[in-house]
Amino acid sequence: MAVPTSTFDYLNLLKENNTREWFHANKKTYDGVKADFEATIKELIGAIGAFEDMTGVEVKDCNYRIARDVRFSKDKAPYKTWLSASFSAGGRKAGRMDYYLHIEAGKSFIGGGMYSPTPEQLAKLRQEIDYNAAELKSIIYNPDFIKAFGEAEGESVKSAPKGYSKEHPEIELLRKKQLFFWHKFSNEEVSADNFVQKVTEACFILKPYLDFLNYIFFDDQEPAIKL
């Protein structure tokens, strides 16, 4: 199911009127927007389930609340001006590297990877790069992967990370503090009939990278599904 163009109309209005009063006065419209997005999430759970274990995962396990947590933020706007969901075995609270879908006017994307790693995860990734960078490079430098996701985005340390030489042959990868990949969609693509298909195809291409991260971060054995 595509995301209707009316969803972007609503999100743009919310951006201009981000108050609890406006939100509750337009709650009926939001309920319709939410129902449309949840239908898309449900369809994606089924489609991604063709190559990921989505057993028992429901819409509520993937969808994020639109209300913002403003307790520790200088920005006190009460609501997000986008819709989002994550897809993985066990749902978004499972803590694994997952497929993240973001719907926002002019800024929609499907993405995944190392966005906010713990110090332990970053250390494990750098150790894996140091010992055997070939596997990671074979994934993220694959022509199909590059065509779909381009180069990784995210912060890097200016010099070599502690414990590694500036002359290390994989210094550019070792410098990465984030290694996140995005496939962006225009508003027209999001509202097209084949949107779920396009998201699913992108997730399938992204899967080997997420399998790689989940294996070195969490798993004691090889992933059940190998591509």
Where do the domains of the chain lie? 5-217
Using the predicted structure, report yes or no on whether residue 74 has a pLDDT greater than 90: no
pLDDT tens string 155-173? 999 999 999 999 999 999 9
Percent of the chain beyond pLDDT 70? 96
**Which pLDDT score, from 0 to 100, does residue 169 have?**
95
**Which pLDDT score, from 0 to 100, does residue 227 have?**
37
Band of the pLDDT at 128, cuts 50, 70, 90? very high
Band of the pLDDT at 79, cuts 50, 70, 90? very high
pLDDT tens string 10-35? 999 999 999 999 999 999 999 999 99
Give the mean pLDDT of the chain.
Answer: 93
**Which pLDDT score, from 0 to 100, does residue 226 have?**
39
**Which pLDDT score, from 0 to 100, does residue 224 have?**
43
Using the predicted structure, report yes or no on whether residue 220 has a pLDDT greater than 60: no
Band of the pLDDT at 153, cuts 50, 70, 90? confident
pTM recorded for the entire structure: 0.92
**Which pLDDT score, from 0 to 100, does residue 73 have?**
84
Using the predicted structure, report yes or no on whether residue 154 has a pLDDT greater than 70: yes
**Which pLDDT score, from 0 to 100, does residue 223 have?**
43
Percent of the chain beyond pLDDT 90? 87
Domain 5-217 has CATH 2.60.120: no
Q: Residue 122 burial (CB < 10 Å; 0-12/13-18/19+)? A: middle
pLDDT tens string 140-149? 999 999 999 9
